[in-house]
Amino acid sequence: MKVKSSMNPIMKTIAALCVFLLGMGMADQAEGAQEVYVVKVEGLVDSGLHAYIERSLRAAENDGAEGIILHMDTFGGLVDAADKIRNTLLDAEITTATYIDKNAASAGALIAIATDSIYMASGSAIGAATVVGGDGQKADEKMQSYFRSIMRSTAESKNRDPRVAEAMVDERIEIDNIIAEGELLTLSTSEAIDIGFVNGSANNLDEVKEKMGWADRNFVHMEERWQESILRFLANPVLTGLFMMMMLGGLYFELQSPGVGFPGAVAMVGALMFFAPHFILGLASVWELMFILAGVALIMIEIFVLPGFGVPGILGALLLIFGLFSSLVGNVGFSFPELDQMSSPIWTMATTLIIGILLIISMARYLPQNRAFSKLILATSTDQQSGYSSFKEREDLTGKEGIALTALRPSGTVLIDDRRFDVVTEGDFIEKGAKIKVVSSSTSTITVRKLEKSPAWSR
């Protein structure tokens, strides 16, 4: 009996605590259920927008919110980013709605279709979702087919007419009393309501909330963090291309006059501005950066150690391009999206390389003549013809013979007339102790070749 009586207060305390915690949880859930989250979808559809929407959706789910409304006004953007947002919305555990306040074009149409309900303001439009490449021209049929398929499957998953969604991408689709063949479908508010593609019209967010049955709920307006706004700005494809050109152009001019100077600083700033947003947005990873660094290292070896343009230079250029391209793509390791989903990175990369090469050629030709530029880098020649010489002429060595004091790979040290000289071969490997002959000699370079058939040489 004593044991029983001594346990009662303990059990009562535990029970009271459980009831209290349960009540707190129910209160938090009830409080969260009184909220409707609002997320702005405006400007370019990009990976930064995906991060913002995903964060907002997770916050709404964690708070037990009643639902989330996308307040949309966009002319579209990147296909891969729109597809990520679409997948996030399709996987959402709470009710989603879109309020189209003026425009839901292209990628914006896909995002809107991925929500449970769509309401449109008077004078708004949805559609015109054909895919265009980086040159502004219509993308190839393979890309159109891919986007058409995800528009169709998304519409089907939300019980909307898939033919209407497809007609927004493909002008060849004809739908009686809606769109004729040869025209790309864009629906006004009244047209979209008449065919039942959207749920209705609304003049403001309060009307959307009321029509969704959330009239007594409170709005929670999610805003982009300043970090997200900056990341979206820096990750813009135009700026990405500019930063890439800064990297490549700065690297080129820095290699023309080695040392950490102005071109090197430009290259480092370009690299930082390129990689920082891509790392934070999850597009770039460490291995991609290592590929780029390895590519630069091989190019430098080709320039300074193995003059010419051989295997190291080609391999370095390929690694550099592959690393930069991978940083633009939402790949997982070496698993890349389908080619159709990478049109934007491909166009960004191709356009950047073409413009970058043309700019480098133009700058290499004309900038050395500019006074301000000539103060930043070594723009004048320091050869013998310009009156410069770091040591005495060595043209008298041509034709002389000697012995390799070290292995020549292809550079090394030889002994000629009891004097040591740093030399390079014509590209061949020459082992230590082999007899050599000087084939050319200038103020900066002594080139030798191996004497194949010669008697053993000794001092």
Percent of the chain with pLDDT over 70: 68
Nearest to 395 by CA among 437, 450, 449, 445: 445
Q: Are 395 and 311 in a shared domain? A: no
The answer to whether residue 140 is domain-embedded is yes
The answer to whether residue 376 is domain-embedded is no
**Interhelix angle 262-280/226-234, nearest 10 degrees:** 120
Contact 63/92 with Cβ under 8 angstroms?
no
What is the reported pLDDT for 312? Answer: 75
What residues contact 294, with CB distance under 8 A and at least 6 apart?
A: 316, 319, 323
| The model's pTM | 0.56
Q: Are 155 and 205 in a shared domain? A: yes
- β-strand partners of 446: 441
State the average pLDDT over residues 291-311: 71
Count Cα neighbours of 282 within 13 Å in the Cβ-side half-sphere.
Answer: 12
Contact 197/189 with Cβ under 8 angstroms?
no
> How many angstroms separate the CA atoms of 445 and 394, rounded?
9
> How many angstroms separate the CA atoms of 269 and 106, rounded?
34
Of 178, 205, 228, the residue that ends a domain is: 228
Nearest to 127 by CA among 155, 103, 97, 157: 103
Cα separations in angstroms, 78 against 65, 168, 235: 29, 16, 12
**Interhelix angle 79-90/343-366, nearest 10 degrees:** 150
Coil, helix or strand at residue 441: strand
Q: Are 322 and 422 in a shared domain? A: no
Q: Are 297 and 322 in a shared domain? A: yes
What residues contact 441, with CB distance under 8 A and at least 6 apart?
A: 394, 395, 396, 397, 398, 447
The answer to whether residue 259 is domain-embedded is yes
Number of structural domains (the chain) is: 4
Q: Are 211 and 283 in a shared domain? A: no
pLDDT at 25 > cutoff 80:
no
The answer to whether residue 38 is domain-embedded is yes
Q: Are 254 and 223 in a shared domain? A: no
H-helix or E-strand containing 275?
helix 262-280
Beta pairing, strands 35-42 & 67-74: parallel
Count Cα neighbours of 109 within 13 Å in the Cβ-side half-sphere.
Answer: 31
> How many angstroms separate the CA atoms of 154 and 164, rounded?
12
State the average pLDDT over residues 309-314: 70
> How many angstroms separate the CA atoms of 267 and 126, rounded?
42
Give me the CATH number covering residue 62: 3.90.226.10
What is the reported pLDDT for 2? Answer: 37
Q: Are 43 and 119 in a shared domain? A: yes
> How many angstroms separate the CA atoms of 424 and 445, rounded?
7
Q: How many residues does the chain have?
A: 459
Place of tokens 């990750």: 235
Nearest to 66 by CA among 95, 97, 86: 95
User: Could you read off the pLDDT of 254-282 as tens digits, one per residue?
Assistant: 666 555 567 777 777 777 777 766 666 55
> How many angstroms separate the CA atoms of 454 and 451, rounded?
6
Q: Are 218 and 257 in a shared domain? A: no
The answer to whether residue 364 is domain-embedded is no
Amino acid at 412: G
Exposure b/e, 79-102, CB count within 10 A at least 16 = b: bbbbbbbbebbeebebbbbbbbbe
The answer to whether residue 311 is domain-embedded is yes
Q: Are 155 and 126 in a shared domain? A: yes
User: Could you read off the pLDDT of 357-384 as tens digits, one per residue?
Assistant: 776 666 666 555 555 555 555 555 555 5
User: Could you read off the pLDDT of 33-44 as tens digits, one per residue?
Assistant: 589 999 999 988
Amino acid at 101: D
Q: How far is CA 243 from the centre of its chain?
A: 11
Give me the CATH number covering residue 441: 2.40.50.140
Place of tokens 């530029």: 373
Beta pairing, strands 95-105 & 67-74: parallel
Of 212, 228, 244, the residue that ends a domain is: 228
The answer to whether residue 262 is domain-embedded is yes
The answer to whether residue 194 is domain-embedded is yes
Q: Are 144 and 271 in a shared domain? A: no
What is the reported pLDDT for 22? Answer: 44
Q: Are 211 and 284 in a shared domain? A: no
Which sign, positive or negative, has the C-alpha torsion 159, 165, 167, 168?
positive
Q: Give 408's pLDDT tier (boundaries 50, 70, 90).
A: confident
Contact 154/351 with Cβ under 8 angstroms?
no
Comparing 25 with 175, the larger pLDDT belongs to 175
Of 170, 197, 228, the residue that ends a domain is: 228
List the structure tokens of 391. 């040591």
> What is the span of the domain harbouring residue 16?
1-27
Place of tokens 């080129």: 252
Angle CA 315–319–325, to nearest 5: 145
> How many angstroms separate the CA atoms of 288 and 283, rounded?
10
pLDDT at 67 > cutoff 90:
yes
List the structure tokens of 326. 């991978």
User: Could you read off the pLDDT of 143-188 as tens digits, one per residue?
Assistant: 788 889 999 999 999 999 999 999 999 999 999 989 998 889 999 9
Q: What is the overall mean pLDDT for the chain?
A: 77
User: Could you read off the pLDDT of 189-243 as tens digits, one per residue?
Assistant: 999 999 999 999 999 999 999 999 999 999 999 987 766 667 667 766 677 777 7
Q: Are 426 and 281 in a shared domain? A: no
Cβ of 435: how many Cβ atoms within 10 Å? 18
Contact 307/255 with Cβ under 8 angstroms?
no
